[in-house]
Structure 1
Amino acid sequence: MSFLNPFALLAMAAVAVPLFLHFFNLRQPRTVEFSSLAFVKELQASAVQRVRIKEWLLLALRMLAIASLGMAFAQPTLTSNLGGMAASAPTAHAVVVDNSLSMTADGASGAYFDQAIQKAQGVLQTVEQGDEALLWPTARSGARRPEPTTNTGVVRQSLAELEPQAGAASLAEAVGRAADATRQADAPQAVVYVVSDLQASTLGDSVATRVPDGVQVQLLPVETQAQSNVGVSDVTVTSRIAEVNQPVQLEATLTNHGPDPLDDYMASVYLAGDRVAQSTTTLEPGLATTVSFTVTPQTRGWLDGAVVTEDDDFPVDDRHHFALHVPEERRVLRVRGDGQDTRYLDLALSSEMVADRIAFRTTAIDERELASAELGRYDAVLLAGPRSLSSGEVDALTRFVDRGGGLLLFPNAQARPEDYNALLGRLNAGSFRGFSGTLSGDQTVASFEQVDLQHPLFEGVFQEQRREEASVERPDLYYVMNFRPSGQAGQTLIELSNGRPFLHEARHGRGRLLTAAVAPTRAWSDLPVRGLFVPLLYRSVYYLSATTSVAGEQLVAGRPAELRVTGVAPDASVRVRGPDGIEVTPEQRTLFGATLLQVGGTLTTPGLYDVQAGSTRARRVAVNINPAESNLQGASPEAASEQLQNATGAPMQTVAAAEAGDLEETLRTRRAGTELWNVFLLLALVFLAAEMLVASQWAPETTSTQTDASPSRRPK
Structure 2
Amino acid sequence: MQFKHPEILYFLFLLAIPILVHLFQLRRFQKQYFTNVRFLKELSMQTRKSSVIKKWLLLAVRLLLLACLVVAFAQPFFKAKDNANTGNQMVILLDNSFSMQAKGSRGELLKRAVQDLLENTPEGQQFSLVTNTNAYWDTDIKSIQKDLQNITYTDVPFRPDFLLTKAQAKNPNTGKDVVLITDAVNLDSKDISKFGGGTPVYAITSGAENNRNISIDSVYISQTMDNFYEVKVDMRAYGEFEDDVPIALYNGKNLTAKTLIKFDAEKKSSTFTIPKKDFHGYVSITDGSLDYDNTYYFSISKPLKSNVVAIGEAAKNAFLSRIYTPDDFNFTDTPLATLDYNSLEKQDAIILNELTEIPQSLITTLKDFYAKGGNIVIIPSAQGSLQNLNALLATFGNTVYKPFTTGERLITKISFNHPLYQTVFEKKTENFQYPKTNAGFTLTGNALPVLSYSDGTPFLASLTNRLGNVYVFAAPINKANSNFQNSPLIVPTYYNMALSSGKTGISAIKIGQNQSLLLDAVLSKDEVLAVKNDKSDFIPMQQVLNNKVKLSFGDYPEVAGNYGIFKGSDNLKNISFNHARTESNLNLQNTAVLSNFTKADSVATVYNDIKSGRTASEMWKWFIIGTLIFLLLELFIQKFVK
Q: Does 2:457 match 1:505?
A: no
Letter in 1 for 2:269: S
Distance 1:34 1:269, change over 3 A: closer
Q: Secondary structure at the match of 1:252?
A: strand
Distance 1:686 1:28, change over 3 A: closer
Letter in 1 for 2:116: K
Alignment map for 1:245-324 (pairs within 5 Å) = 245=228, 247=230, 251-256=234-239, 261-263=240-242, 265-266=244-245, 268=247, 270=249, 272=251, 274-275=256-257, 279-282=261-264, 289-301=266-278, 303-306=280-283, 308-312=284-288, 314-317=289-292, 319-323=294-298
Number of the residue aligned with 1:125: 122
Seen in structure 2, the aligned counterparts of structure 1 residues 430 and 552 have a Cα distance that, compared at 3 Å, is: farther
Partner SS state of residue 496, structure 2: helix
Tell me if 1:416 matches 2:369: no
The one of 342, 350, 354 aligned to 2:326:
354
Of the candidates 600, 606, 611, which is equivalent to residue 654 of structure 1? 600
Pair 1:166-2:166 in alignment? no
Equivalent-residue separation in structure 2 for 1:378 and 1:696 (angstroms): 118
Q: 1: CA distance between counterparts of 2:636 and 2:544? A: 95
SS in 2 for 1:685: helix
Q: Does 1:138 align with 2:120?
A: no
- 1:222-241 alignment, distance < 5 Å: 226-232=209-215, 234-235=217-218, 237=220
CA distance in 2, matches of 1:12, 1:364: 108
- The AA in structure 1 aligned to 2:276 is T
Contact 1:76–1:677 (CA<8 Å) still a contact in 2? yes
Task: Give the C-alpha shift of residue 107 in structure 1.
Answer: 4.0
Which residue is equivalent to 1:707?
A: none
- Which AA in structure 2 matches 1:354? P
Partners of 2:633 and 2:121 lie apart in 1 by 45
Using structure 1 for the length normalisation, give the TM-score. Answer: 0.63
Amino acid at match of 1:251: D
Alpha-carbon contact 2:564-2:572 (below 8 Å) kept: yes
Supply the distance in 2 between the matched residues of 1:291 and 1:568 (Cα, whole angstroms).
Answer: 37
Contact 2:217 2:235 in 1 (8 A): yes
Q: CA deviation at 1:544?
A: 0.3
1:199 CA displacement: 0.5
**How large is the Cα RMSD of the aligned pairs?**
6.0
Q: Aligned partner of 1:545: which letter?
A: A
Tell me the equivalent position of 2:440.
483
User: CA shift at 1:55, angstroms?
Assistant: 4.9
Alpha-carbon deviation of 1:200? 1.8
d(CA) in 1 for partners of 2:383, 2:146: 77
Change (3 A) 1:599 1:654: same
Change (3 A) 1:178 1:483: closer
| Secondary structure, counterpart of 2:138 in structure 1 | coil
1:388 and 2:357 matched: yes
Query: How far apart are residue 541 of structure 1 and its match?
Result: 3.9
CA distance in 1, matches of 2:91, 2:274: 52
Where 1:148 maps in the other structure, the secondary structure is strand
Equivalent of residue 689 in structure 1, options 632, 636, 640: 632
Q: Distance in 2 between matches of 1:343 and 1:633?
A: 54
Distance 1:177 1:69 in 2: 46
Q: 2:354·2:476 contact (CA, 8 Å) conserved in 1? A: no
- The aligned amino acid for 1:543 is N
**Match of 1:607?**
561
Equivalent residue pairs, number: 608
Q: Summarize the Cα distance change of 1:233–1:630 in structure 2 as closer, same or farther, 3 Å threshold.
A: farther
Compared CA separation, residues 343 and 692, structure 1 to 2 (3 A): same
The alpha-carbon deviation at position 543 of structure 1 amounts to: 1.2
* Counterpart pick for 1:545 among 498, 518, 521: 498
| Shift, 1:201, TM fit | 0.8
CA distance in 2, matches of 1:401, 1:542: 18
Cα distance in 2 for partners of 1:104, 1:203 equals 16
CA contact 2:219–2:298 (8 Å) conserved in 1: no
Structure 2 residue identity aligned to 1:623: N
Which deviations, in whole Å up to 9, do the C-alpha atoms of 1:144-166 show, x marking residues without a partner?
x533257x64333433x423422
Change (3 A) 1:677 1:274: farther
After superposition, what is the alpha-carbon deviation per residue over 1:306-358, rounded to whole angstroms, capped at 9, x for unaligned? 3x44422x241452415365662254452635x767985896588xx433xx3
Distance in 2 between the 1:388 and 1:157 partners? 69
> Which residue type is aligned with residue 183 of structure 2?
Q
Please state how far the C-alpha of 1:253 moved relative to its aligned partner.
3.2
Change (3 A) 1:241 1:381: farther
CA 1:21–1:576: 2 relative to 1, 3 Å: farther
For residues 578-616 of structure 1, the C-alpha deviation after alignment (integer angstroms, 9 at most, x for no partner) is 55542112344579997362523x433233444556646
Cα distance per residue 1:288-316 (max 9 Å; x no partner): x222344444224565443x44422x241
Shift of 1:120: 1.9
Name the CA shift for 1:299/1:236 in 2 (closer, same or farther; >3 Å). closer
The farther-off stretch of 210-219 and 322-331 is: 210-219
Look up the match of 2:309: 334
The structure 1 residue matched to 2:69, chosen from 66, 82, 107, is: 66
| Counterpart contact for 1:175–1:192, Cα < 8 Å | no
Judged with a 3 Å threshold, the aligned counterparts in structure 2 of structure 1 residues 640 and 371 are, in CA distance, closer, same or farther, namely same
Any unmatched runs of 5+ in structure 1?
284-288, 437-445, 475-479, 496-500, 646-651, 700-716
Q: Give yes or no for contact 1:589–1:595 (8 Å, CA) kept in 2.
A: yes
Residue 54 of structure 1 is matched in structure 2 by: 57
State the identity %. 13
The secondary structure found in structure 2 opposite 1:281 is: coil
CA distance in 1, matches of 2:143, 2:264: 51
Query: Could you tell me how far apart the structure 2 residues matched to 1:538 and 1:115 are?
Result: 56
Q: How far did 1:62 drift?
A: 1.0
Cα pair distance change 1:354/1:460, threshold 3 Å:
farther
1:666 shift after superposition:
7.5
Tell me which residue corresponds to 1:709. Answer: none
Asked if residue 584 in structure 1 is aligned to residue 587 in structure 2, the reply is no
Q: How does 1:53-132 map to 2 (within 5 A)?
A: 53-55=56-58, 57-67=60-70, 69-70=72-73, 74=75, 76=77, 79=80, 94=91, 96-127=93-124, 132=126
Match of 2:550 in 1: 595
- 3-state SS of paired residue (1:166): coil
Q: 1:696: Cα distance to partner? A: 4.0
What TM-score do you get using the length of structure 2 for normalisation? 0.69
Residues 635-655 of structure 1, C-alpha deviations (whole Å, 9 max, x = no match): 66xx57536x5xxxxxx4635
Residues 1:431 and 1:238: Cα distance change in structure 2 (over 3 Å): farther
Deviation at 1:545, TM superposition (A): 2.8
1:155 to 126, 144, 162: 144
Report what 1:21 is aligned to.
17
CA–CA distance in structure 2, aligned partners of residues 460 and 204 of structure 1: 35
1:75–1:675 Cα contact (<8 Å) kept: yes
Q: 1:108 offset after TM fit, Å? A: 3.8
C-alpha change, 1:392 and 1:487, in structure 2 (3 Å) is same
SS at 2:264 equivalent: strand
Paired with 1:685 and 1:460, the residues of 2 have a C-alpha distance of: 91
Q: How far apart in 1 are the matches of 2:159 and 2:22?
A: 71
Partner of residue 703, structure 1: none
In the aligned structure 1, how far is the partner of 2:476 from the partner of 2:278? 35
* Residue aligned with 2:388, SS: helix
Counterpart Cα distance in 2 of 1:174 and 1:434: 54
- Indicate how the Cα distance of structure 1 residues 52 and 492 shifts in structure 2: closer, same or farther if over 3 A, else same: closer
SS of the aligned residue for 1:542 comes to helix
